[in-house]
Structure 1
Amino acid sequence: MEKTKKKMWVMISAALVIVLFVGAAAVKASQKKQEKGIVVKTAPIEKQDMESHILTSGEVLSMEKRDVLPDISGKIEKLLVKEGDRVEPGQALVKLATGDLDYQIREAEMKLAMDRDTLQQLKNEGDIELEIALSNAEIQYRDAQRAYENKKKLYEAGAVSKSELDAAKSLMDQNYNHYVLAQKNFDHGRKNSKISTQEKQVSLSELSVERLRKELAKYTVQSPIGGTVVSVNALEGGMASVNMPLMTIVNTDLLEIVTNISEYDIHKVKLGQGVKITGDAFEGKIYRGRVKYIDAMAVSNNTGQGKETVVRVKIEVIDKNTDMKPGFTANVDILTESKKGVLVVPYEAIFTKKNGEKVIFTVEKGKAKEHVIQTGIESDLAVEVIGKGFKENDRVIMNPTEKLKDGEAVKENKVMDNDKN
Structure 2
Amino acid sequence: MVKKKRGKRFWAVVLILIMLPFIGFILKQSAKQRIADIPLVETSVIERGNLSSNVYTSGTIRAKNSISVLSDISGRIAEVNFKEGDIISEGDVVASLKTDELYYAVKEAELNLDLTKRRESTELASAKRAYEEAEESFERNSVLYSEGAVSKSQYDESRRLLLDLRDEVEKVEEVSGKQIELESLRLEKLRADLEKSKIISPAGGTLTNMQIEAGGFVTLNQPLFTVQDFNELEVLTQISEYDISSLKTGQKVLVRSQGREEAFDGRVASIAPDAKVASNGQGSETVVEVVVEITEPTDAFKPNFSAELQILTGSLDDVLLVPYEAVYTKKGGEKVVFMISDESTVSEMPIKPGLEGDLLMELIPLDGSDPEDVKVVLNPTEKLKNGMVVRVKETEEEEKQ
Query: TM-score when scaled to structure 2?
Result: 0.60
Structure 1: give runs of 5+ residues left out of the alignment.
Answer: 1-28, 102-212
Specify the alignment match of 2:286 in structure 1: 309
How many Å separate the matches in 2 of 1:419 and 1:338? 36
Q: CA deviation at 1:37?
A: 5.9
- Given that 1:47 and 1:343 are in contact with CA atoms closer than 8 Å, whether structure 2 keeps it comes out as yes
Specify the alignment match of 1:346 in structure 2: 323
Specify the alignment match of 1:204 in structure 2: none
Specify the alignment match of 1:137 in structure 2: none
After TM superposition, the structure 1 = structure 2 runs for residues 10-159 of structure 1, keeping only pairs within 5 Å, are 38-69=39-70, 76-96=77-97
How many Å separate the matches in 1 of 2:324 and 2:291? 31
1:226 aligns with 2:226: no
User: Is the alpha carbon distance of 1:273 and 1:417 closer, same or farther for their aligned partners in structure 2, counting shifts above 3 Å?
Assistant: farther
Q: Deviations over 1:159-192 (max 9, x none)?
A: xxxxxxxxxxxxxxxxxxxxxxxxxxxxxxxxxx
Structure 2: give runs of 5+ residues left out of the alignment.
Answer: 1-29, 104-190
How many Å separate the matches in 1 of 2:95 and 2:80? 5
Q: Tell me the number of residue pairs that the alignment of Structure 1 and Structure 2 aligns.
A: 279
How many Å separate the matches in 1 of 2:211 and 2:80? 11
Q: CA deviation at 1:334?
A: 1.0
The letter for the 2-side match of 1:49 is: N
How many Å separate the matches in 2 of 1:341 and 1:278? 29
Query: TM-score when scaled to structure 1?
Result: 0.57
The letter for the 2-side match of 1:393 is: D
How many Å separate the matches in 2 of 1:299 and 1:215? 40
Q: CA deviation at 1:320?
A: 3.6
After TM superposition, the structure 1 = structure 2 runs for residues 16-415 of structure 1, keeping only pairs within 5 Å, are 38-69=39-70, 76-96=77-97, 220-238=198-216, 243-280=221-258, 283-366=260-343, 367-387=345-365, 388-415=368-395
Q: CA deviation at 1:349?
A: 1.0
- Given that 1:43 and 1:414 are in contact with CA atoms closer than 8 Å, whether structure 2 keeps it comes out as no
Q: Deviations over 1:201-244 (max 9, x none)?
A: xxxxxxxxxxxx99997664332112211122222245566644
Q: CA deviation at 1:400?
A: 1.9
User: Is the alpha carbon distance of 1:64 and 1:308 closer, same or farther for their aligned partners in structure 2, counting shifts above 3 Å?
Assistant: same
Specify the alignment match of 1:182 in structure 2: none
Q: CA deviation at 1:375?
A: 0.9
How many Å separate the matches in 2 of 1:409 and 1:235? 83
Q: Deviations over 1:72-111 (max 9, x none)?
A: 666644321101112222233224567698xxxxxxxxxx
Q: Deviations over 1:249-308 (max 9, x none)?
A: 222233222222222222222211111111237x35422221122223333333333333
How many Å separate the matches in 1 of 2:201 and 2:193? 17
Larger of the two Rg values belongs to structure: 1
- Given that 1:42 and 1:415 are in contact with CA atoms closer than 8 Å, whether structure 2 keeps it comes out as no
Identity of aligned residues (%): 38
How many Å separate the matches in 2 of 1:263 and 1:65? 28
How many Å separate the matches in 2 of 1:375 and 1:231? 51
SS at match of 2:41: strand
How many Å separate the matches in 2 of 1:419 and 1:229? 66
The letter for the 2-side match of 1:260 is: Q
- Given that 2:73 and 2:193 are in contact with CA atoms closer than 8 Å, whether structure 1 keeps it comes out as no
- Given that 1:295 and 1:312 are in contact with CA atoms closer than 8 Å, whether structure 2 keeps it comes out as yes
The letter for the 1-side match of 2:341 is: E
SS at match of 1:348: helix
The letter for the 2-side match of 1:311 is: V
The letter for the 1-side match of 2:285 is: E
User: Is the alpha carbon distance of 1:395 and 1:98 closer, same or farther for their aligned partners in structure 2, counting shifts above 3 Å?
Assistant: same
- Given that 1:42 and 1:416 are in contact with CA atoms closer than 8 Å, whether structure 2 keeps it comes out as no
The letter for the 2-side match of 1:224 is: P
Q: CA deviation at 1:352?
A: 0.6
User: Is the alpha carbon distance of 1:40 and 1:73 closer, same or farther for their aligned partners in structure 2, counting shifts above 3 Å?
Assistant: closer
- Given that 2:73 and 2:221 are in contact with CA atoms closer than 8 Å, whether structure 1 keeps it comes out as no
Between 1:350-359 and 1:411-420, the stretch displaced more is 411-420
Q: CA deviation at 1:321?
A: 4.7
- Given that 1:43 and 1:416 are in contact with CA atoms closer than 8 Å, whether structure 2 keeps it comes out as no
Q: CA deviation at 1:46?
A: 0.9
The letter for the 2-side match of 1:351 is: Y
SS at match of 2:275: strand
SS at match of 1:296: coil
